[in-house]
Amino acid sequence: MVATDGFLVGRVKALRRPAAALLASRSLPARLSAPGGSAQSLDPPYKEPVVAGITFRPYHPADATALLALFLDTIRRVNSRDYPPDQIRAWAADDIDPAAWAARFEGRFVVVAEEADRPVGFAELEADGHIDRLYVSADHQGHGIATRLLADLVAEARRLGLARLFVEASITARPFFAARGFVTLVEQTVACRGAQLVNYRMERTLT
């Protein structure tokens, strides 16, 4: 049910009203094998959120095509509840360059959720604590997949010694992040292929 920015292909065009901070419970860190093969150890008492039938693993370049299809389908079927058709067409455009899409994963910590060898979600973290994209298949909403993906990002951020995570959350994703300890800093409007879309800059302090 989650989609973060994903449409930030333009620069922020306008900053609007700051929103009140929302306090909520934290998600728990998890253990994940890193792309280089090393395990990311966590101190107790943290436990992984368990999602039946779903495997969580590092991203591989061969995943890029399937993740692009998931991204487009999720926006068109889930985010379309909160954004009008013209904005959805711009955000999930048919002409997204597959090579440019794949290149965005390079150098990032990326977790893929899969069921029966098919990706059903993914999340990515940049080295500065920015969560760029977090998406779960429209057919796998409400099963805890996004919560587990976020937990893996939190665990990696803590491993890196980051002080905070931040995200540009869509209207759809904002309640998810708010319920997991992120506070809304500002509502903003971003340009995307000629459309103007609202999202929310949010952050979570790590302690």
Cα separation values, 136 from 48, 95, 106, 150, 187, Å? 18, 21, 20, 11, 23
Going residue by residue through the chain, which has 207 residues, state the pLDDT in tens, using 9 for 90 and above.
455 555 443 333 333 333 332 222 223 333 443 333 323 333 333 345 668 899 999 999 999 999 999 999 999 999 999 999 999 999 999 999 999 999 999 999 999 999 999 999 999 999 999 999 999 999 999 999 999 999 999 999 999 999 999 999 999 999 999 999 999 999 999 999 999 999 999 999 998
Say what the pLDDT of residue 97 is.
96
Q: How many C-beta atoms surround the C-beta of residue 140 within 10 A?
A: 20
- Give the SS3 label for residue 101: helix
Say what the pLDDT of residue 91 is.
96
pTM of the full structure: 0.79
| Residue whose C-alpha is closest to residue 59's, from 47, 68, 48, 50 | 68
- Phi, psi angle pair for 30, to nearest 5°: -135, 170
Locate the domains of the chain by residue range. Answer: 27-169
Domain at 27-169: CATH architecture: 3-Layer(aba) Sandwich (3.40)
Residue 153, H or E segment: helix 145-160
